[in-house]
Structure 1
Amino acid sequence: MRARILSVKVGHVTGLREQKKQATRAALGAAALRLAWERGPENVRVDDIAEAAGVSTRTYNNYFSSREQAIVAAVIADRESRVAAAVVGRDADVGLGEAVIDAVAGQYEDEGGRDALLMITGSPALRACYIDTVAAIEDPLAEAIVERCPGVDTLTAQVLSAGVGAAVKVALRQWLRPTSMPGFVMVSGSVTDLLRTALTPLRPALEAAGDTEVSRCRL
C-alpha cells in the first residue's frame, strides 16, 4: 500500500512538472509572437522574450534555441497533437489514407491567421524554421496510425508518418519558394491544395496499411 501511495505521489508530481513545462513553453511562445508583432521579428532578442515571459535566458534556452523557434511555436500551436487527434477521431467509414490527408491539410488552413503567415513568409529564418517544424508531427502521427489500426506494426507506422512529413515539407517549400528578389517569396496558390497534391502519392500505401485483414483497423 505504501509503495502504491508513493507511486501515485510521484506520478502526480511528474504530471504537475510537465504541466509547468508546457505552460512555460506556451508563455515564451506567446511573448515571442507579441514582441515580433510590436517590433518586427528581426528586432526581437532572446533576452527580451525571456524577460517578457518572466523567466531567465537560461530557462529560455531549455525550450528554444532561437527566437524563430519561439515565434513559430506560437503560430503552429500544438499542430502535431491536433493532427494525431484528427486521425484517431475520424468516422468509422473513413479510410486511413483519407483520414491522414484530411487531418494534415486541415491543420494548415489559416494556421495562426493570415497576418502570422505573412510575417513568416517575409523572413527567411522564420520560413526555414516553419518548414522544419513539420518533423514534429511524425511521432504523434505514427502513434495515431497504430491507435487507429492496432494491427499495423510500429515500423510501418513510422515509415508512413515519415513519408507524410517529407511530402509536407516538399509542399511547403513549393508554397514558400523564394523569388529572384532578395527577401521576397512567391506564395503559390492554396497551401491545403498543395498539401493534398503532395500527399496523394502516399494514399495507396496508407489505405493498404489500413485495409489489410491483419491490421484490424479501427475505422
Structure 2
Amino acid sequence: MAPADEARTTGQPGLRERKKRETRLALSQAAIRLCVLHGWDNVTVDQIAAEADVSVRTFRNYFTGKAEAIAASHLERMLQVGDDLLARPVGEPLWDALRHAVLGRFAPADTSGTINSAPQNQRWRDGVRLMLAEPALAGEIVKANAAAQQELAKAIARRTGTDADRDVYPKLVAAVVAAGSAVAVEHSLRADQPEPLGAVLAQVFEQLAAGLPMP
C-alpha cells in the first residue's frame, strides 16, 4: 500500500504532512522558548529561525510572524491528541480515551509536577503568563483554537461513527475538551501554590466524564 493510500485508510497523516508538521512545531516551540526566556519585544523572526536551525525564508513559508508561530503549537498539539485518540483501543470508553490522549500530549512527563511545581521553573511559568498576556497573540490564539476544535471534532467523529459536518456531538465534545484543557492550563499556571498540570487535567476529565456533578 502506498503511503498516501495508507494515510487515507488509517486517518493518520502521510510522510509529507508529518514533515511539514514537524517543521511547524519546531518553529513554534523555538518562538515560545525565546519569547518566554527573553520577552516578547526582544525576539525577532531571524532569531526564531536560527533557534530552529532553518532559514528566515522557511519561517515565512509557514508563518506571517511570531504570534502566528506561537499559536501554532496549540493546533499541532490538538492534531496530535486527535491522532492519539484514533490509536486508542477500540473498546475503550470515549472519555477515557480522550483523557489518555490529552494527558499524553499536555503533560507527558508530568508525574510529579516537575514543570509546574519545581522552584527552578518559576521563571518559566512567569514568562509563559507574560507571553500569553501579549495583545498581539490573542487573535492568533483564537484562530488556532477554532482550527484545533475543528480538527479534533473530525477525530472524535471517526472514533464515534458520527459526522463532523452534520452532527452536533463531535463538535460539542471537541469544544468541551478544548475548554477543559484551557481551564486546566490556566489553573495550573496561575494557582497561588503551583499544581502539576497532569493532576489538574486528570481532575478536569474525571469531572467531565461524570457529567460535571455539583461539588
TM-score between the two structures when normalised by the length of structure 2: 0.61
Matched pairs, number: 179
Q: How does 1:172-191 map to 2 (within 5 A)?
A: 172-177=185-190, 186=192, 188-191=194-197
- Could you say which structure has the larger radius of gyration? 1
Q: Which stretches in structure 1 are left out of the alignment for 5+ residues?
A: 1-14, 179-185, 206-219
Q: Deviations over 1:142-178 (max 9, x none)?
A: 1111111114663210111101111111111111117
Q: Which stretches in structure 2 are left out of the alignment for 5+ residues?
A: 1-13
Distance of aligned partners of 1:22 and 1:149 in 2 relative to their CA distance in 1, 3 Å threshold: closer
Q: Does 1:98 align with 2:107?
A: no
CA shift at 1:95, angstroms?
0.5
Distance of 1:17 and 1:93 partners within structure 2: 31
> Superposition RMSD on alpha carbons, in Å?
4.1
Q: Does 1:192 align with 2:205?
A: no
- Partner SS, residue 90 of structure 2: coil
Q: 2:131 aligns with which of 123, 126, 130?
A: 126
Contact 1:87 1:103 in 2 (8 A): yes
Distance of 1:122 and 1:80 partners within structure 2: 24
Q: 1:160 aligns with which of 143, 156, 173?
A: 173
Distance of 2:106 and 2:16 partners within structure 1: 30
Q: Deviations over 1:91-132 (max 9, x none)?
A: 2331111111221122122479849x76641213434569x4
Q: Deviations over 1:2-29 (max 9, x none)?
A: xxxxxxxxxxxxx998678546534533
Q: Deviations over 1:53-82 (max 9, x none)?
A: 31249826x515435x545756x7932222
TM-score between the two structures when normalised by the length of structure 1: 0.60
